[in-house]
Structure 1
Amino acid sequence: MTTRRSFLVTGVALGATTILPTATLAQEDGSNTFETDAGQITVHPLQHASFVMETPAGVIYVDPVGEASIYEGLPDPDLILITHEHGDHYSAETLQAVTAGQTQIVTNPAVYDMLPSELQSKAQQVANGETLDVSGLEIEAVPAYNTTEGRLDYHPEGRDNGYLFEIGGRRIYVAGDTEDTEEMRALEDIFLAFIPMNLPYTMDVQQAADAVAAFQPTYVYPYHYRGEGEGTQDPQQLADLVGETDAETEVLMGDWYEPGEL
């Protein structure tokens, strides 16, 4: 597995060294660890929109794509969450490579219908607004869609999922590909959030900052932020903008990209 570094932004400056009581600064392998009532959650940013979480409820892979070597050295998934069908979020080939005997898969209905039969037998589908119980973990499908004229066809309303679940008293929100929807802004008591921001497919950095200021997660990872040309959004700018609001949110940076990638 490629070694990656990440860093914690506290307020505005990247060089801040304040150690927070509920999270560690990034480890040598690029992960961050968070305390919960049930034990630790460790987040491994991998690439673009793909990451792994080791949790007291099991190992969770989110939108695994790319070469299987990216996942070497990480434990096998107990659960895989797939937000939608685009190639930077769904790859049947990658799923077949990383899925283990005990793995359960949760997808939106569109991806469920695309799954090869051997993967579909391990999968459950959940639509916007529905909640699914997977081995005692309740997973809510939060609508993920575009709202800006000219972007509506990328992620039409009603098709794609974000995911909301709680582990050890910590509510975690994975946004998937979306703009700053009413459903996102209405979220409450979010401990850890993953927010996309690239154009034209999701939202720009100002939209992302406005959304964070609205629902005020304790921690937020900007991810899925590289695009073509001006479509790329600056995660440091997000930290700066959030720092100018009343939100007591810490912006976490992961090494989602290798140099020259995407």
Structure 2
Amino acid sequence: MPNPFDLDGLQIIYFGWSAFKIKTADAVLYFNPSNVGEVPEEDKADLILIGNSHDANCSEEDIQKIMKDGSKIYGPQKVEDTIGPDVLVVTGGDTYTEKGVEFNIVPAYNEGSSYNPRDFGFGFEVMIGGKKLYFAGDTDLIPGMQDRDDIDIAFLPIGGTDVMDYRDASDSIDMIKPKYVIPMHYKVGLDSPVESFKHRVSGRAEVVVMT
């Protein structure tokens, strides 16, 4: 069972890579659900936000596990192409409110890449349980990150393959200025960049390493 991070009534569970559950007294939100295991009824999704259609982020099997009557799925066009018409298609700059959760669609891309080009996928800025979250998605260090204001928790990729490495992710902290940062999208083990990331970020945000 993954270890949760709790902050003022908001609970975060990490399933690995870039998959998270965010739970409050009023709503259950998933980012990029994957490897969710057995899901009790009380943990099924009110809202599912999928950043792009890559297999690691867009698991039909896991989406089915967390769905219930009334669950809403949001993602870019390629996610609808993969999952089907239940997906509500988003575009950059859109703003939504669902189940009392407010969220904005923000850029996430690799400059000059055919794997994560502009508008293929997105990140999310979310207000839930009185906390403002920034889920960066599959992205490089990009212009516009400085537009993220008053972020309580930033979810940042640090692995360096088609996403920021730990150095760029550390540099992004000066743009985003979150209170807490949760690293994601990295390999575990001897080659893990987590300790290097923690060292570089020290004193600028509290790093929460989830397992």
TM-score, normalising length: structure 1: 0.74
Q: Distance in 2 between matches of 1:110 and 1:32?
A: 31
Q: Distance in 1 between matches of 2:14 and 2:30?
A: 10
Contact kept? 1:57, 1:137, Cα under 8 Å: no
Of 176, 182, 187, 1:226 maps to 187
Q: Distance in 2 between matches of 1:57 and 1:200?
A: 36
- Which residue in 1 is equivalent to 2:56? 88
- Which residue in 2 is equivalent to 1:52? 21
Identity of aligned residues (%): 27
Contact kept? 1:105, 1:124, Cα under 8 Å: yes
**1:37-68: CA deviation from partner (whole Å, max 9, x where unpaired):** xxx100011111111111244011111123x5
- Which residue in 2 is equivalent to 1:107? 75
**1:189-232: CA deviation from partner (whole Å, max 9, x where unpaired):** 000110012232101111000001221100000011128x99x6
Q: Equivalences for 1:9-48 in 2 at 5 Å?
A: 30-35=3-8, 40-48=9-17
Q: Equivalences for 1:1-262 in 2 at 5 Å?
A: 3-4=1-2, 30-35=3-8, 40-66=9-35, 69=37, 71=39, 75-116=43-84, 120-121=85-86, 123-147=87-111, 152-226=113-187, 233-243=192-202, 247=204, 249-255=205-211
**1:172-203: CA deviation from partner (whole Å, max 9, x where unpaired):** 11111101111223311000110012232101
Q: How far has the Cα of 1:74 moved from its partner?
A: 6.4
Unaligned runs of 5+ in 1: 5-29, 256-262
Q: How far has the Cα of 1:236 moved from its partner?
A: 1.3
| Rg larger in structure | 1
Q: How far has the Cα of 1:79 moved from its partner?
A: 0.9
Unaligned runs of 5+ in 2: none
Q: How far has the Cα of 1:233 moved from its partner?
A: 4.8
Name the aligned partner's letter for residue 234 of structure 1.
P
Q: How far has the Cα of 1:159 moved from its partner?
A: 1.7
Q: Distance in 2 between matches of 1:237 and 1:183?
A: 25
What RMSD in Å do the two structures reach over aligned CA positions?
A: 2.2
**1:93-138: CA deviation from partner (whole Å, max 9, x where unpaired):** 221232111211111122123223xxx33x3121111112223422
- Secondary structure of 2:144 counterpart: helix
TM-score, normalising length: structure 2: 0.91
Contact kept? 2:156, 2:184, Cα under 8 Å: yes
Q: How far has the Cα of 1:75 moved from its partner?
A: 1.2
Q: Distance in 1 between matches of 2:28 and 2:13?
A: 11
Q: For this pair of structures, how many residues does the alignment match?
A: 211
